[in-house]
Structure 1
Amino acid sequence: MTIKFGFYGRVSTEDNQDPQASRAWQLHRARALIESRGGEIVAEFFDIDKSRSIPWQLRPHAAALIEELKDPLRGFDAVVIGEPQRAFYGNQYSLTFPLFEHFGVPLWVPEVGGPIDPANEAHDMIMGVFGGLSKGERNRIKIRVRAAMAAITATEGRFLGGRPPYGYLLQDAGPHPNPGKAADGRRLRRLVADPVTSRVVRWIYSEFLKGRGYLDLAEDLTRQGILSPSASDPGRNKHRDQRAWSRYAVRVILTNPRYTGHQVWNKQRKDEVLLDVENVALGTTTKQRWNTKDQWIWSEHPVHDAIVSVEEYQRVQEILATRARGQYSQRPRPTRRPYALRGVLFCGYCERRMQGNWNNQQAYYRCRFPNQYAILNDLHHPKAVYLREAKILDEVDGWLATAFGPDARERTIAAMTEQAIAPNETVLLDLRQQLPKCDRKRSQHRSTLDAGGDPIEIFSWINETKNERARLEEELKTVPAVQPTSVAEIRSMIEEIGDLVRLIGEADSGDKAELYMRLGLKLTYYPEKQYLEARIEPEPLRRRSVCFRAKLHKLNA
């Protein structure tokens, strides 16, 4: 008799591991255990780029496996794990195995030679030891890596990776000192001052020392037509507003010590914090936090081009310290406000997410674009846009129930079919948005030339921008056409959406936020017209660029 198995594995790419190779050897170990007993793997659950410290409930495929355990009609009889140290960390085994035992699903691991016996103390001890070894291995690796990076920073000042700060470019610095990595073609890189943006950084420091503020500098830079850091590197900053300089972008430049020519490391750290202090059994998650300045590691000597002097940087930090009001704390709030529309409500003026704001024991949402970004001539935006959650929540839920309920399902499918967009429309839109940015760069270069810059160097920049624009135009011509999503695919997605909509009506604010995100709900609020535009882009649809949008009734003033 063939025993049907579900397979679970996990790999973290933090250490440059190959997910395919890791999955292959974990599957090989699992099959070696079960095939001699007539076993066959019929379902796979494999988490990629998820740390072992993350609880099973927060790993997508591990959570899906737990949900399958609850289904009596699941397609497998048992679960096999090829490498317990990859699957369980710390006390995760003792928190997870009772679920397998409760639903009557045997868990097989190579270390015990077959299924784990709940009544066998030796099995329980072995699995507990592997969880401790997994935690110890991760901690040892973390300690070694941090010690090595601190030493490399202090003694060599080597560039340790990541994107270069605004004002710098990356330059080849020769082969990697590790012979094995050098043989594979790995090379070191170093920071060099960018001829254009480094001047902007010097100007920001100079003007700030004259007494100007963040927003004043941001508005001046925007008026001059100088691209913001996000707009200078749009490929890696799609999540940020690229139309204007923000006050926070100016602040980041003024507080970055690497402009002094020194390499600086350990400005941030990763801490493991409890998911719920009232329920320790839920486990921990990793959060990134700021270190105090006395914990930063500075290189002993300057190792790359200095854009500002150490003295200028220190004077700026002294000014910032005197301007600070009170003591700023990086500690999170002890409790979290229940914002049902968290992350799904956008401002119709600037298209940015509106922020939750608790006022008079009620949830509000606000957008303060002019308070954070420079004001653009072509963007009219009030000082603050406010919207009360209770004003729209019932109407949003009512629209969802109507549009995706059984009675309106066929009408909704027809509407989504008409609006279905081929996948490559997104690629075309992105390419078309980059063309005006090339034109703005050329205008910026001409302004630099008029200001007395080196003609030979500036003409080389102009030619590079021309070549970039020509490359984008060629890519626009070569983007292939792809068929839009079929009616059958849309029908399947609508059925999934209908299941979520039924849950929303019974959920509290905290659960609604998660359901709205899973549903792919996007709301855009237009204050002047007093109406709300609703758009559904669920995860399967987002990859196919299919959506369904509707304008809700005009809101009451």
Structure 2
Amino acid sequence: MTLNHDRLERDLAAQSFAAPSLTFAFYGRVSTEDNQDPASSMHWQLSLANTLIFPRGGVIVERFFDVGQSRSLPWQRRPEASRLLAALRDARRGFAAVVIGEPHRAFYGNQFGLTMPLFAHFGVQLWVPEVGGRIDPDNEGHDMVMSVFGGMSKGERNRIKVRVRTAMASQTQLEGRYLGGRPPYGYTLKDLGPHPNPAKAADGKRLRGLTPDPQTAPIVKRIFGMYLSGYGIFAIAEALTRDGLPCPSAQDPARNRHRDGHAWSKSAVRVILRNPRYTGRQVWNKQRADEVLLDVNDVALGHTAITRWNQPDKWVESKELAHEALIEQAAFDRVQEMFQQRARTGGAHRAHRSRHPYVFKSLVFCGVCGRKMQGTHSHGVAYYRCRYPQEYALSTKIEHPRTVILREDLLIRPLDTWLVQEFSPLQRRHTVAKLISQAQLEAPVPAAAVPLGPTVAECDAKLARYRAALEAGADPAVVAGWIAETQAARKLAEQGQANAAPPDKTDSISHLSEDDIIAILDDLGDLVTALGDAEPERKLDVYRNVGLSLIYHPETRTVRASVDLAAHRWDLVCVRRGT
């Protein structure tokens, strides 16, 4: 979207009787593109800024405008505001002051107190309409006014949150209105007519509600029926997968891209059994967004939103039926009672077993399905296993044994022997040669950079000449136009640098000398030589430090191991008597 305000600036400049003598950068913000037009929002904020500075001889030469960024985000976490703070540190910046047309949109809470010291430190003025011009960092009145505006901005946001949540709770409880989101498995959406809000109805928005999906609604009924008949969650999942019935991620893959959709999982069955919307009532507030500190050691970085589940007593349900029920209320209540009974009547409490350490924790992968193998103990012996139900294998067309097992002790000695040999002083020259040759084979050929316009350095040189021309007595209006044009070109050059492909890290080792690589291997060699008598936890640290990864192939009873040093790998050992 192009935000062009050159005509506005020319009109205001023509009305100004004072020649421009101070160059400004403009900063503004709009919250979301859905609720506000960014072009219109920038226009009126820029108008306020120009009205403030033009009569005093100011001209805006660069603009920073955040779109879709919440006011609660600190300046360091807003893209354009962060770029403005970086520009303050640049002695060759093309502006001497910053003007903000609407401080409510720029500062939230205590953000002004955290940001203004940076302007004062780098000698950049900050202008706002609320104080009639430049903010004096030593003026207590100015500081109090801006702090009040920050508090008002925070209060306004909190009031909006309360109003929205209260309205949504009322609409759910009294009207049973569908408030959006993904329809639960077993339902699809239907049109209920125009939106009751006249303004939204005029925009073409319509109400939608839940209606049973002919394909998946019977599956939901079958899940509840099987559970009431005594089947466990895992048995239900296996039966549905065996019969080829689509799971939620297979039924709606566009909205479940993080799932493979191959088979039913226990969690999917459990979510369906615990969802009260199948009784025909609308439910809201099952989840909440908590704002937690991004970094407890740096409060200035602000908060981040984390989605968490609410307890059932916090859910809001409609008083009346809002859509066609798939499950009777009595049957749903019985299922919830069975969940509670099974939780209370578990096996007798046993003494806690000591925690077993695994020397290859999270480092062993199944060569058939590619999943991580889980650690387990049997009769004091550590194993790694991959349990893959037969129904899952049939759905994915994988010939996978029901259980793949690898003994840990069969792997430790040959692995340690290989590592000690590979990093031994006699072998290090050969290891270095393999590293360098592999890096040369994998290193990509860099593409030639074709400049599409002036570079940042060239733009900076032009700006320096323009400032010299101003000091020599050149026409300020003409020079201001040159500066604005060059600033725009410099911004494009910076974006080109930011969008350039980053250097390939896999090639980083090719930039090291042979002595540098030997020094790294010396450090790793000292670790490897301590493997023999090391405790399991220490062994795991060493394996992770060298980037170890193990892939077990049960059909050949071999393990393919790799060590990741700048993404260079080697084959490793064969495990005899594997199962």
Q: TM-score range by the shorter chain?
A: 0.5 to 0.7
- Structure 2: 5+ residue stretches without partners: 1-19, 347-363, 376-383, 413-417, 424-432, 449-495, 512-516, 518-547, 554-558, 575-579
Aligned to 1:414: 445
2:109 to 68, 90, 98: 90
Change in 2 beyond 3 A, CA 1:87/1:240: farther
**1:61 paired residue number:** 80
Residue deviations 1:55-93 (CA, integer Å, cap 9, x gap): 333333333333333343445433333322222211122
In structure 1, the gaps of 5 or more residues are 328-344, 358-365, 396-401, 418-487, 506-522, 537-549
Where does residue 119 of structure 1 map in the other structure? 138
* Equivalent of 1:135 in 154, 172, 180: 154
Match of 2:560 in 1: 530
Measured in 2, the distance between the counterparts of 1:347 and 1:416 equals 38
Retained in 1: the 8 A contact 2:110–2:147? yes
Question: Residue 157 of structure 1 contacts residue 300 of structure 1 at CA under 8 Å; is this kept in 2?
Answer: yes
Structure 2 vs 1, CA of residues 313 and 499 (structure 1 numbering), >3 Å: closer, same or farther?
Answer: same
Q: Deviations over 1:293-339 (max 9, x none)?
A: 11211111111010111122222222222334899xxxxxxxxxxxx
In 2, the alpha carbon distance for the partners of 1:368 and 1:109 equals: 64
Q: 2: CA distance between counterparts of 1:171 and 1:105? A: 57
User: After superposition, where does 1:104-115 map in structure 2 within 5 Å?
Assistant: 104-115=123-134
Which residue number in structure 1 is paired with residue 199 of structure 2? Answer: 180
Q: Distance in 2 between matches of 1:33 and 1:64?
A: 23
Counterpart for residue 257 of structure 2: 238
Aligned to 2:217, which of 182, 198, 201? 198
- Pairwise mapping of residues 487-498 of structure 1 onto structure 2 (< 5 A)? 492-495=500-503
> Alpha-carbon deviations, 1:385-444, whole Å to 9, x = none?
9999xx99xx9xxxxxx9xx9xx8998442789xxxxxxxxxxxxxxxxxxxxxxxxxxx
Q: Summarize the Cα distance change of 1:182–1:317 in structure 2 as closer, same or farther, 3 Å threshold.
A: same
Are 1:150 and 2:163 counterparts? no
The separation in 1 between residues aligned to 2:230 and 2:73, in whole angstroms, is: 47
Take 2:165 and 2:118, find their aligned partners in 1: how far apart are those partners? 37
Residues 254-269 of structure 1: pairs in structure 2 closer than 5 A: 254-269=273-288
RMSD: 4.8
Matched-pair identity in %: 51
Q: Is the 8 A contact 1:169 1:193 kept in 2?
A: yes
- In the alignment, structure 1 residue 42 sits paired with structure 2 residue 62: yes
CA distance in structure 2 between the partners assigned to 1:106 and 1:355 by the alignment? 60
Question: For the Cα contact (< 8 Å) 1:69–1:105, is it kept in 2?
Answer: yes
Residue of structure 2 aligned with 1:309, choices 295, 312, 328: 328
Q: What SS does the aligned partner of 2:193 have?
A: strand
CA 1:348 to 1:49, structure 2 compared with 1: closer, same or farther past 3 Å? farther
Q: For structure 1, which segment, 232-241 or 163-172, has the greater mean C-alpha deviation from structure 2 after superposition?
A: 232-241
**Conservation of the 8 A alpha-carbon contact between 1:77 and 1:105:** yes
C-alpha distance in 2 between matches for 1:224 and 1:374: 11
Residue 156 of structure 1 deviates from its aligned partner by 0.8
TM-score (ref. length: structure 2): 0.61
Deviation readout 1:199-239 (Å, 9 max, x if unpaired): 11111111122222333222222222222211211222222
**Residue of structure 2 equivalent to 1:291:** 310
Q: Could you tell me how far apart the structure 2 residues matched to 1:101 and 1:273 are?
A: 30
- Residue matched to 2:10: none
| In 2, Cα distance between equivalents of 1:116 and 1:278 | 30
Residue equivalent to 1:421: none
Aligned residues: 420
Equivalent in the alignment of 1:446 = none
**Residue range with higher mean Cα deviation, 306-315 or 101-110:** 101-110
Aligned partners of 2:42 and 2:65 also within 8 Å = no
Deviation at 1:264, TM superposition (A): 0.8
**Take 2:90 and 2:115, find their aligned partners in 1: how far apart are those partners?**
17
Cα displacement (A) at 1:552: 3.0
* Distance (whole Å) between structure 2 residues aligned to residue 254 and residue 112 of structure 1: 60
**Does residue 103 in structure 1 map to residue 134 in structure 2?**
no
> Who is 1:159 aligned against?
178
The residue that corresponds to 2:468 in the other structure is none
Q: CA deviation at 1:132?
A: 0.6
| Aligned equivalents of 2:126, 2:111: Cα separation in 1 | 14
- In 1: Cα distance, 2:338 partner to 2:328 partner: 16
